[in-house]
Structure 1
Amino acid sequence: MTVQFPSNAAPFIATSGSILDAHKIEITIGSDFDIYSTVIEEERPAQKLGDPFNPELHDLNAENGFWLIGRNQFGELIHTQAFKTISLSDVALSSYLMRNFQKFPPPIPGVDLGRSRYRASPGAHRISGEAVYHGEVWMAPDEGLYRGTGLSSVLTRAGILEAVDRWDPDWIFGFMLRAVAFKGFSERVGYMHTEPGALKWAVHGREQLLEAFMVYLSREDAKFMLDIPVEELVA
């Protein structure tokens, strides 16, 4: 089933555009991941480029990936996110990740892939078909200026809408560290399903494992979520 978005998305596009204009934020969308890699290296030094979107590891182009960045009125980077397609035509996401979860490590140094593990959550067994992986979600750490204002809700939904418009995927999924999920960030950025315990990442020199939740949306979930008035989410 294909969900038609143009008429449904029009209010979101108009309202989100007005909100971003009011905050003097300009977004740019592109598919040249060499450019994106340079932006991250030069302007987001606190968080390295994630492996799933590293052009040295993957052949990423306009057909299978895009990034979205936001800049403030001074041209400073204040937001990033990225998406890429994953075909699950003959396998469930659970089986795919059993073999490939090491390709989605958190963007921190010292991850011990040998001691890390993936546990299939219920939703992963149901997800198949054409899927999109969503990652690289970051907001500049200016408490009260960008974070905690609801702008992440607007910006992330803009990315999800772009993914739906480009690919009309069956599913969109990502991973979120437990500490972030516990703050309600998954709901704020628009994910309607959150499953704990999906990933446990070991870090060299650290005994406690880092837990990551899997978050996801179906095509129908995305339509429902993008129909919610976005102005109600912004402070």
Structure 2
Amino acid sequence: MNRRQALFSLSSLVATLSVAPKLGAKEIHGFPLDVKLDPESVPVPARVGGYSVLTDITARKNLVAIFDRLIPADSLGPSAIDEGALEFLDSQLAGDYGSGAALYLEGPLRPENEEKLMGSPQFITSPRERYLTGLKALELWAQANHKDSLHTLNAVQIDAFLTDMEAGKIDLGPEVNSQAFFELMLQNVRESYLSDPLYGGNKTMAGWKMIGFPGARYDYRQYVERRGENLKLIPVSLIPDN
């Protein structure tokens, strides 16, 4: 399974709807407009312009090189970076996800039992810290092994690096688990490609179009029984029209 086929496999998680460039199915109208949302539940859009966390230019260039190898541009759609993966990640790292607000970061009560019980060591640093530390380690590794930054390498070299990183064969120093850092980057770039455009990634909804997801529509009830049918629904984002 190649990288882009991995995105296709996620289509099994959504209804079997396909997207065409023109709207063909009738839309539902008359839904209530006066429904009030809790302000804390309202999604926060990605920051437009500038970076809050990924402020180091070299680190950003290295991430661009990595993300565009994990989800490259091809006949099926644009690359992760073209779809806003960097903006998505920076926005997430600047918020609760980056600070690890939903994570327990106090460390295990009995470290000797940690891996036995959890299956793998617990990370007691936030995603933001893991990225900042990991990106510095990536640059040091590239300088030591190639006398230049990672982003200057060609596609074959970067692919080889990522393959070894995924297998845990890259030594990024005692502070970075290279295999876990690879998995974190892969998870986040996938999230960016399938997120609502409101969050900075999937800007043209290429990821949604690829798997046939019609987006953040108010109601799907009239389509539930129409399995396997091409409804020709154009994806809808959470971004308001006005």
TM range (shorter): under 0.3
More strand by share: 1
Which has the larger Rg? 2
TM-score by length of 2: 0.23
**Higher RCO, Cα 8 Å, sep 6+:** 2
Instruction: Looking at secondary structure, tell me which structure has more helix per residue.
Output: 2
What TM-score do you get using the length of structure 1 for normalisation? 0.23
